[in-house]
């Protein structure tokens, strides 16, 4: 059975194989020596910073940060990008890892996120802590908000399967909890919107901004944010109040959270047969990136309108052109033509209502 120890240098939790007497940290390369408890007295209660203590064998995902880039000074940009293809399973998706790569490219090249501050979770990662399992996704979400300070800009992007399940607590307007499906969801279960909200929304302090880009089925309110922007085809909108009748607060601790999602809670994203090689969960990410390439990324309203218009014609040649990032996306997905629009409508939710046509978008 594995146990956890903290790295002697950067304090990252490390999984210690049975019988091991030392372990090298994959982040800072420091070697932590493990004292055999049979040969050494227990440490005194007031231990110095140089001593190392095994963590509990079954740590809570809310108590430890995942292996990843060491957090730099505050006022930083941090992102968790998760793309799951479920390869070799009956749930396989074709475009999700490409979505993750393209979002990373966008964040680095347009929004100047440091490469070291982006934590990627895909099946292509060689670090076992960066495979998008349920536990690793939980740890990554905790890392995203851990130690955040005023001025920080955080982003969570997910491309993969989404689902929903009956809610029995009465805190969902439609009676369903929305969920994300980790790579091992069939054995470990899904991540429910209540947990996502409790992990990355509720703790967010004043001055910190979090954006979520959720490219999945049934994803409209997957962050459980209190307000949903209901927009019609002509661009007029109203804010729907999704606060639970129980009075449970689903907002932040003073921070700002805004989420774009691929479709409404009762909708499914387009499938591969509708988009050829531009796959189901690729449609929304594609249209989000394209909004910036076409100069429509100035306000939240302009982005949402651009995405909704583009997703109806994503199969047309005119929807595939222009821009370095879009060109990369087209190259990765190899294009493909389809006929007709998609029956999915991207959604916008937030912790507080605002004027979507005047508030500038910034990461």
Q: Label residue 24 by pLDDT band (50, 70, 90).
A: confident
Return the pLDDT at 173: 59
| pTM exceeding 0.85 | no
Torsion angle of C-alpha atoms 179, 185, 187, 192, degrees rounded to 10 = -20
From the candidates 7, 181, 217, 229, which is the catalytic residue?
217
217 carries an active-site annotation? yes
What domains sit in the chain, N to C, each tagged with a CATH number?
1-44 (no CATH), 77-350 (3.40.50.12660)
148 carries an active-site annotation? no
Q: How far apart are CA 188 and CA 110, in angstroms?
A: 36
Is the confidence at residue 119, as pLDDT, over 90? yes
SS3 106: helix
User: What's the distance, Cα to Cα, between the start and end of the chain in Å?
Assistant: 42
Contact 171, 246 (CB under 8 A): yes
Residue predicted with more confidence, 164 or 218: 164
Average pLDDT over residues 97-110: 94
Query: What six digits make up the tokens of 174?
Result: 């439609």
Query: What six digits make up the tokens of 198?
Result: 């409790």
From the candidates 161, 211, 242, 296, which is the catalytic residue?
161
Residue 360 DSSP one-character state:
B
Q: What is the pLDDT of residues 338-357, one digit of tens each?
A: 334 445 688 899 999 999 99
Return the pLDDT at 29: 67
Percentage, residues of the chain above pLDDT 70: 65
Range in 239-248, 257-266, 281-290 with the lowest mean pLDDT: 257-266
């Amino acid at each position: 059975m594995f146990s956890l120890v903290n790295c002697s240098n950067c304090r990252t939790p490390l999984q210690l194989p049975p019988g091991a007497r030392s372990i090298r940290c994959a982040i800072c390369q420091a070697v932590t020596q493990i004292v055999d408890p049979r040969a050494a007295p227990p440490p005194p209660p007031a231990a110095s910073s140089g001593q190392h203590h095994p963590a509990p064998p079954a740590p809570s995902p809310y108590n430890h940060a995942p292996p990843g880039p060491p957090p730099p000074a505050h006022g930083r940009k941090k992102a968790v990008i998760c793309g799951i293809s479920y390869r070799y399973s009956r749930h396989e998706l074709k475009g999700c890892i490409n979505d993750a790569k393209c979002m990373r490219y966008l964040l680095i090249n347009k929004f100047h996120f440091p490469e070291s501050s982006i934590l990627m979770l895909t099946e292509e990662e060689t670090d076992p802590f960066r495979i998008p399992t349920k536990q690793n996704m939980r740890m990554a979400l905790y890392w995203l908000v851990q130690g955040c300070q005023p001025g920080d800009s955080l982003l969570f992007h997910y491309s993969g399967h989404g689902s929903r399940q009956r809610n029995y607590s009465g805190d969902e307007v439609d009676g369903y909890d929305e969920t994300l499906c980790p790579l091992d969801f069939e054995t470990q279960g899904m991540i429910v919107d209540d947990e996502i909200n409790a992990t990355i929304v509720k703790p967010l302090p004043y001055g910190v901004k979090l954006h979520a880009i959720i490219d999945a089925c049934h994803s409209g309110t997957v962050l459980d944010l209190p307000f949903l922007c209901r927009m019609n085809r002509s661009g007029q909108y109203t804010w729907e109040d999704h606060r639970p009748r129980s009075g449970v607060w689903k907002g932040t601790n003073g921070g700002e959270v805004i989420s774009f999602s691929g479709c409404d809670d009762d909708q499914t994203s387009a499938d591969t047969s509708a988009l050829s090689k531009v796959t189901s969960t690729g449609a929304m990410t594609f249209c989000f990136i394209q909004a910036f390439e076409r100069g429509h990324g100035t306000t939240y309203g302009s982005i949402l309108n651009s995405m909704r218009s583009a997703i109806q014609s994503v199969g047309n040649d005119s929807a595939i052109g222009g821009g370095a990032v879009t060109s990369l996306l087209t190259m990765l997905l190899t294009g493909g033509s389809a006929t007709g629009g998609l029956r999915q409508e991207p959604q916008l939710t937030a912790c507080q209502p605002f004027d979507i046509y005047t508030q500038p978008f910034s990461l």
